[in-house]
Structure 1
């Protein structure tokens, strides 16, 4: 019997791009799987190329990323490490 996987919608600002992600995918994996040119380099949370700001929604991390308390308070996330837990609105500078 196959397990039903929740799909969540991710809205990427200011480009007004919408794509979906399962709860087994990171934000970056979902974007790349949808054919979106999302900035990235290392895909392990070191280079900070994929950092974006979470406006709304929930994510989780297997390993907490190296973000300062100030960056976390401002909503910054590492898309390569952030697993989608709800619909998201993200801002990509």
Structure 2
């Protein structure tokens, strides 16, 4: 299954194939996406979900409040639906 991700505020769309993380899909499509460690330790790829759902093999180090606010680690996140994500901190 191929899912679509919209990256805000740039309104860039890219696709994620089954078994790919959001970060891997963005980098494979030559998109500039903040990242460093790719294992959820540095928080460089942290972004906010505006709509959609993700799942993780290993649950990231997010507080309940951060989860409720929609924060996700794109290096660990596998989309379960189409996503709209925002890279800007609000």
What range describes the TM-score normalised by the shorter chain of this pair?
A: over 0.9
Structure with higher Rg: it is 1
CA distance in 1, matches of 2:39, 2:71: 16
CA distance in 2, matches of 1:56, 1:23: 19
Three-state SS of the structure 2 residue aligned to 1:49 is: coil
Count of matched residue positions in the alignment of Structure 1 and Structure 2? 88
Gaps of 5+ in 1: 1-5
Q: Which segments of structure 1 move beyond 2 Å, counting only runs of 4 or more?
A: none
CA distance in 2, matches of 1:39, 1:13: 13
CA distance in 1, matches of 2:81, 2:19: 12
Three-state SS of the structure 2 residue aligned to 1:25 is: coil
Task: Give how far 1:23 is off.
Answer: 2.1
CA distance in 1, matches of 2:79, 2:11: 18
Gaps of 5+ in 2: none
Question: RMSD over aligned Cα, in angstroms?
Answer: 0.6
TM-score (norm 2): 0.95
Three-state SS of the structure 1 residue aligned to 2:14 is: strand
